[in-house]
Structure 1
């Protein structure tokens, strides 16, 4: 399903991000474990400017998809203000706040200049987001127009960070655009960008969809607002009701490894802002018991042998509304473990502080997802393999690397 008002953002992987599975686990613990007030972010989404071939959106709203590095960190480019100030934002279904660095934030080279936007209006109040790992971001509030994939949202309330922990100030992305329910916003009563799209009738269907590709298959990814592209997935969508209207939380009825029923179930959160699949220790033990040689290492966490035999396994299946959805071994087997020759980090890991299971991007890369805020449900289907590799990948790598060098040079000057 997609309508004529559907627009899409195409995503490229961050070329400068390094695979860091242990750090990803720490961040997701901070994001979903109490007493965190607002989820953080792990993965970022970026916009590429060329046209795609299979979108139904009008040409001004279509941006083509490239993959410039390993598919780990994604971010999207959003414009704020009358003068279209550009920011690289985390598009995060596991959080609801929108914030960017203010011009008074001393630790950033890319900031929002309130004085140069004629449409900016101050908004009474302040915001502060505290994370479970002790990191924080805080500042003032404002209103301005936001351009997301060509959709102009008027008077969007957002945070302007004046202070950030180093966790954020050292990141290549500039801020966060949350896509979960506004019930978890740090400022009560503020509508999210998605809710404002619906309220301002910018999209006629209150949905958005996510497709994430793999670097080895032509890569990239796509956010589409107001519809979805049925050419991205096989068969029909399976619709799963949202159980708690905070995150995109649904019920998982069962868990399998290949043909083995692990006899486990839980609510799960489908979270684009998390790299990994995160489950309690007992669940991780049951999964990794099916992988010969898998170890819960005291230093590195869950690791698995990097062998053809392990790569040939069928992987994990999550049962959602009676249908099995896979996390395949090539997504479970991640980067090599330093000091543990022959082992790689597992994309499924454990944390007992998180009350539900988290299905991050190792799940979403295999499974196309549609988020329906009108009917409070998530549609899921197996992704189709991409048809081709985008020709602009090499040039995009060069462009992003040059931009990264400029940003690093600016940071050095500030320090």
Structure 2
């Protein structure tokens, strides 16, 4: 068990149901997600129009490499600098990139070089913005309100992304990438204005030492993760949340629909069941959550493993039920586990731990996708579903047996006001 400085309360937050500042912030974030979805569709569409499919794929994915390389550095800065300032600076840089794309495309046709530079620039901005943004929930609400915060945030974000994706195709057809970039610029400007004028932290997080080098700070984050077993379990679980279900949905469902002659429309219906279920699962946490949040989340993921197995059975009703189960458990579990992580991880390591979490998902997902496809190519189609779903359910036994996680509850502050603001797991 280690000791670490706890956040300092700057002002008492209101109950989450009456917290207008946080609710407005989550709506603004959802608006930004909608703008990102609009621009992502326009970007991909433009790349396909001016380049071969292979080159277009390279352009669209180009931002992931610099993001992965710099993400850990961004996490180190998030733990030593002002998160609000980092968010403002890198959103402003995103605006510069979008305005450059829009102005260029007004004067001349878009080029592969322009899109490639824009993709890389956005990846670099993400590497610094995302770790800083990941520390904000702990600065805004009390630990007992983090599950409700995460649930509403995920729900609004999904709605924003869905709305942006639905409108994106029409907007790029009518106004091209210039109009889409302009709309996304407006959403980022709104975010910047809100952060500058209204978003004010209620808790000051302890800061990592600025005297050590950034690379030493990154290494210190890994050392901390190696020392703290329960935190490590949460990070690994959150990193691997999508490694089983991602390939099953992205590759397995189209293969299943093709082999059964269900058509592409069936894939859309199944994915809609996943997305709708995820929103419902997250909203459940707003109204009700288990007393021990981490255990509730891991138990839900065990059920999700069964849902993944159901996708391989081949009956459309069973597959639909499996998709709905996956969505419900994904929304429920990710909300509980992400809020538990935010509330209980050492506050001066939140940025670095969040970066490690994202990096693990980015690096392992291509491997998981390739392995699923390889299994589907050489074995009956139900086998990869059974392997991935069964492995997920079995792996959840490890955290469910962890005594620290079993005892952890974010409700302790509500019941014993004299205790620290959250039960630390390290």
Higher relative contact order (CA 8 A, sep 6+): 2
Q: Determine if the TM-score, normalized by the shorter chain, exceeds 0.5.
A: no
Give the greater-gyration-radius structure (CA). Answer: 2
Instruction: State the TM-score, normalized to the length of structure 2.
Output: 0.27
Larger helix proportion of the pair: 2
Instruction: State the TM-score, normalized to the length of structure 1.
Output: 0.28
